[in-house]
Structure 1
Amino acid sequence: MNNTAPQIVLGTMDFGTRVEPDQAFAILDAFAAGGGVWLDTANCYSFWSDPSGVGGASERVIGSWLKARPGARDTVRIATKVRQNPLVAHSWPESAEGLSARAVHAGVEESLTRLGVDHVDLLWAHAEDRAVPLEETVGAFGELVAKGTALRVGAANHPAWRVERARSLAREQGVEPWTALQLRHSLVQQRPLTPVAEGGHRMLTAEDLDLAHAEGLAVWSYSSLLWGSYVRPDKPLPQSYDHPGTTRVLTVLDEVAGELSATRNEVVLAWLMRQGIDPIVGASRVEQIEQALAARRVRLDDEQVARFAEAR
């Protein structure tokens, strides 16, 4: 994978919908004050929670925060995504914008307006769009990098073979290739071959990691803390995680947390970063992001990492 040290990424999906703007501002302030750098959003966040039926709320909150905090743009980096925003309110996936060149360019321009910036630091293709030739999508992303509208580009929820195909096409076109992957991943795993219940989610696989290692790609994980299930009795793990491996891993997790005087969540995040992965962490309260940032101080030794591997 890439040589940049893994970082905690602030997931802002619920900002402006489930998380009120003033609370989002407090979380963003705490993240920046704690040395956090990357903000992860998307142009579709969160259409399913917004009475309008379309996305944009999260980006608007970030844009308002940047405007209210002079100098903040110099300290944070912004990653956003195009592909899933409904073009017709309350009509998804039928009216999802897709990844045509026209949709990509229009989506990014609207994102820049909401964010109040002239570029994003990383632009993701939020999911596949097999109705559009991959050559067209790759070219559109490459054009945005050439213009300076996006400094880097990456693929979220894409299988490894499509990412490598896209990278090959980018080389043929002479444009910037996707250099980052974003997929769902955490310490505990679903039962093998279990369908993912959450629409649009794609699990990180060994093949994805193999590609990332071979090509020097960054890897970001979402749902890193499984919606609080590691630490909240009122949020049990989904049924798809009910198997002996989960029991073994959670036993080791408690042992390691005790050895390191850390919380379960801190150990999970430290484990992800030890794998070279940047974990995305959503927060609805300031203390949640402060606790997540504390994971940067947790260091797993080789023996502890091996115990997790054996348990899984």
Structure 2
Amino acid sequence: MQYTNLGRSGLKVSRLCLGTMNFGWQLGEADSHAILDAGLAAGINFVDTADMYGARDYEGTAETYIGSWFAKSGRRDEVVLATKVYQPMGDGPNDRGLSARHIVAACEASLTRLGTDRIDLYQMHHIDRGTPWEEIWQAMDRLVAQGKVLYVGSSNFAGWHLAGAQAAAMKRHSLGLVSEQLKYSLLTRAVELEVVPAAQALGIGLLPWSPLAQGLLSGALRKHREGAAGRTTTHAAARVAEHFEQLQRYETFCDELGLHPAAVALAWLLGRPGVTAPIVGPRSAEQLTVPTQALETTLDDDAVARLNELFPPVGNGGPGPEAWAW
């Protein structure tokens, strides 16, 4: 396994992050524990969750499963633990968002479910346009001072949100954001216009979610031909149909390289500027095999150029305003 700093912080994390969105919704406790065991066995020390993952009636099931794994395995200190706050966790008007009240209450609830005394990376799950940065950082600074949160990150922010958050944090002499979790893959490159360059300029590490575009880049057509299990929802089928010719050319190219499509997609992301760790969310322990192979995969300039042809960047490519202005 390879390790790197999380953004400009001194915290070392694995170059793959283990996502747990399937915990509770698709996987039971035993299978979730098996994936955590396999992740650490592969050298992954970075685990990402959210208070609302697996939640039924706001139970926070994914966090609960991780907490029971900590209790059983005794491996809490080996994990860089990330969770999130913002989504509704109750029926009340203050049971959501990024008010100081909800941030503090949600943190306490997450700590209880996770069975731990601190959250290594506490991420804002979405921008809250109705709460001022002064209030948000007041709550986060309080949690950091209490030792309940060590680092703060964001998710699904625009570039100007990152800049605004950092400007407000600097006024308080706070570290501010160390990471941004963003939807980023060969099929989803709009973030290269402003989010990626903003994060690089501010020293914010990038944690791509859905790096395989909900399975489309993991050999979706090959799986269909071979009758292998995969995403079979109507939405997934519509997305495969939408990108069919593009995926067909992509899988042919991966065959020419002699590499698994998922390994190619992850290797491309790992080589992108500012990317710390793509988030992989396996539905079984065995599904971790290909992502770890991506760490040993090097794409040369010709391969990267071919991928740019297959999955063109937005506009002229690269950051704005050059990408659209000239």
TM-score normalised over the length of structure 1: 0.84
Tell me whether 1:84 sits opposite 2:82 in the alignment.
Answer: no
CA distance in 2, matches of 1:242, 1:110: 41
CA distance in 2, matches of 1:97, 1:228: 30
Residue type of the alignment partner of 2:38: A
Task: List gaps (5 residues or longer) in structure 2.
Answer: 1-5, 225-229, 313-326
Which residue of 2 is the match for residue 221 of structure 1? 208
Which residue of 2 is the match for residue 177 of structure 1? 176
Which residue of 1 is the match for residue 253 of structure 2? 255
Quote how far apart the aligned CAs of 1:151 are: 1.5
Quote how far apart the aligned CAs of 1:241 are: 8.5
Tell me whether 1:242 sits opposite 2:245 in the alignment.
Answer: no
Tell me whether 1:296 sits opposite 2:299 in the alignment.
Answer: no
Asked whether the 8 Å contact 1:186–1:221 carries over to 2, the reply is yes
Residue type of the alignment partner of 1:242: E
CA distance in 2, matches of 1:273, 1:5: 14
Deviation string for 1:159-191 (max 9, x for gaps)?
11112111101111222311211111111238x
Which residue of 2 is the match for residue 207 of structure 1? 194
Asked whether the 8 Å contact 1:249–1:308 carries over to 2, the reply is no
Residue type of the alignment partner of 2:270: M
Residue type of the alignment partner of 1:74: D
CA distance in 1, matches of 2:239, 2:203: 35
Distance 1:237 1:96, change over 3 A: farther
Deviation string for 1:98-122 (max 9, x for gaps)?
1011110111111111111111111
Report how many residues are paired.
Answer: 288
Asked whether the 8 Å contact 1:86–1:95 carries over to 2, the reply is no
Residue type of the alignment partner of 1:20: G
Quote how far apart the aligned CAs of 1:62 are: 0.4
Tell me whether 1:41 sits opposite 2:49 in the alignment.
Answer: yes
Quote how far apart the aligned CAs of 1:242 are: 3.1
Secondary structure at 2:116 match in 1: coil
Quote how far apart the aligned CAs of 1:309 are: 2.1
Distance 1:303 1:2, change over 3 A: farther
Distance 1:146 1:250, change over 3 A: farther
CA distance in 2, matches of 1:240, 1:189: 14
Asked whether the 8 Å contact 1:30–1:286 carries over to 2, the reply is yes
Which residue of 1 is the match for residue 132 of structure 2? 133
CA distance in 1, matches of 2:51, 2:114: 10
Tell me whether 1:266 sits opposite 2:246 in the alignment.
Answer: no
Secondary structure at 1:299 match in 2: coil
TM-score normalised over the length of structure 2: 0.81
Structure 1 vs Structure 2 CA RMSD: 2.5
Residue type of the alignment partner of 1:170: A
Tell me whether 1:11 sits opposite 2:8 in the alignment.
Answer: no
Asked whether the 8 Å contact 2:254–2:260 carries over to 1, the reply is no
CA distance in 2, matches of 1:27, 1:157: 26
Residue type of the alignment partner of 2:286: E
Residue type of the alignment partner of 1:32: L
Distance 1:258 1:74, change over 3 A: farther
Which residue of 2 is the match for residue 286 of structure 1? 285
Q: How high is the sequence identity, in percent, across the aligned residues?
A: 34
Residue type of the alignment partner of 2:87: Q
Asked whether the 8 Å contact 2:32–2:65 carries over to 1, the reply is yes
CA distance in 1, matches of 2:136, 2:251: 41
Deviation string for 1:22-42 (max 9, x for gaps)?
011111111100101111100
Secondary structure at 1:267 match in 2: helix
CA distance in 2, matches of 1:140, 1:238: 42
Quote how far apart the aligned CAs of 1:6 are: 6.6
Asked whether the 8 Å contact 1:43–1:85 carries over to 2, the reply is no
Deviation string for 1:220-279 (max 9, x for gaps)?
111111222232336456549936xx84575245324532x3210111111111114221
Asked whether the 8 Å contact 1:188–1:241 carries over to 2, the reply is no
Distance 1:147 1:240, change over 3 A: farther
Distance 1:5 1:36, change over 3 A: closer
Distance 1:123 1:257, change over 3 A: farther
Asked whether the 8 Å contact 1:182–1:221 carries over to 2, the reply is yes
Task: List gaps (5 residues or longer) in structure 1.
Answer: 191-202
Asked whether the 8 Å contact 2:64–2:114 carries over to 1, the reply is yes
Distance 1:262 1:58, change over 3 A: same
Secondary structure at 2:279 match in 1: strand
Distance 1:237 1:8, change over 3 A: farther
